[in-house]
Amino acid sequence: MKKEPIRIEKNDVVISIDDLGKSFGSLQVLRSLSLQVYKGENMVLLGRSASGKSVLIKIIAGLMFSDKGSVKVLGREVGQLSTKELDVLRLKIGFSFQGSALYDSMTVRENLEFPLIRNKRHLTRHETDRAIEGVLQDVGLLETIDQWPSELSGGQKKRVGIARTLILRPEIMLYDEPTSGLDPVTSLEIINLINEVQKKYDTSSIIITHDLTCAKFTGERIAVLLNGTIGRLGSFDEVFDTDDPAIRGFYNYNFIKDS
């Protein structure tokens, strides 16, 4: 498996974070964090559990607000937007949840239809059906269209969750542990799907993962979150070319070989 080169628009910043801080009581989760994501880029975010990764993407999506600093998404200062303006911005941000977040009481078709009914009421029945079938085709699961979530495997649920996100054609994708709980073969399928989405839908993404195979083969750059800020940033090889035990720990956990 090899990550195909992607054209990154480094003059076009889609997410700009500057001096971000967030605390919960006396616990400071994010401190003076700065990061930029470019148009067309897959940015991987690594960090230990409870290091603030999920807090960061919730702030990016306007689901939580920072105590200090600036977060601009597609040129808009998230913390200064009205509720209506936030709703408009969120339509351009796709959030792929770790647990897929499918509605068990709805078929796959109905799960994908739901965001269209809420946000694109002008679509005809034919246009809605075509959109649903199109995204399911793109994630390789058209045959599941009338199945229930309980009938799907873990990998299929991940794919349908991604399809439901893609149906609104977002400009930015936020993936939360996309390979978590999957076997190695299914994980590789999701990794390939993330790269296919990047190319076909021209998305810019932040991918939260503990899986370094996922990180290596999806990310143009890797950002390591340490002590509430970005401790290391660069390509996969650049990030792990260090003896820093805080960084090497991630690598050793995934790739250490028995002696």
CB 16 within 8 A of CB 72: yes
Residue 28 lies in a domain: yes
Q: Does residue 256 sit in the same domain as residue 195?
A: yes
- Residue 259 pLDDT: 43
Binned at pLDDT 50, 70 and 90, residue 169 comes out as very high
Residue 229 lies in a domain: yes
Mean pLDDT of the chain, nearest integer: 92
- Residue 255 pLDDT: 67
- Can you read off the two tokens belonging to residue 36? 């930029």
**pLDDT, greater one: 5 or 22:** 22
- Model confidence pLDDT, tens digit, residues 105-151: 999 999 999 999 888 888 899 999 999 999 999 999 999 999 999 99
Q: Does residue 122 sit in the same domain as residue 67?
A: no
Residue 252 lies in a domain: yes
- Can you read off the two tokens belonging to residue 193? 């799907």
Residue 84 lies in a domain: no
- Model confidence pLDDT, tens digit, residues 203-259: 999 999 989 999 999 999 999 999 899 999 999 999 999 999 888 888 877 765 554
- Complete DSSP assignment for 205-231: EEEE-S-HHHHHHH-SEEEEEETTEEE
Q: Does residue 34 sit in the same domain as residue 100?
A: no
Q: Which of 54, 15, 1, 69 is nearest to 221 (CA)?
A: 15
Strand duo 68-73 + 76-77: pairing: antiparallel
Q: Which of 168, 161, 174, 24 is nearest to 95 (CA)?
A: 174
Q: Does residue 113 sit in the same domain as residue 155?
A: yes
Query: Domain range spanning residue 184?
Result: 9-72+172-199+206-259
Query: Which strand (E) or helix (H) includes residue 112?
Result: helix 108-119
CB 184 within 8 A of CB 145: no
CB 163 within 8 A of CB 136: yes
- Residue 86 pLDDT: 94
pLDDT at 47 exceeding the cut of 60: yes
Burial 153-191 (b: 16+ CB within 10 A, else e): eebbbbbbbbbbbbbbebbbbbbbbbbbebeeebbbbbb
- Residue 7 pLDDT: 82
pLDDT at 98 exceeding the cut of 80: no
The pTM score is: 0.91
Domain count for the chain: 2
Residue 2 lies in a domain: no
Q: Does residue 193 sit in the same domain as residue 232?
A: yes
Binned at pLDDT 50, 70 and 90, residue 8 comes out as confident
Q: Which of 120, 101, 84 is nearest to 176 (CA)?
A: 101
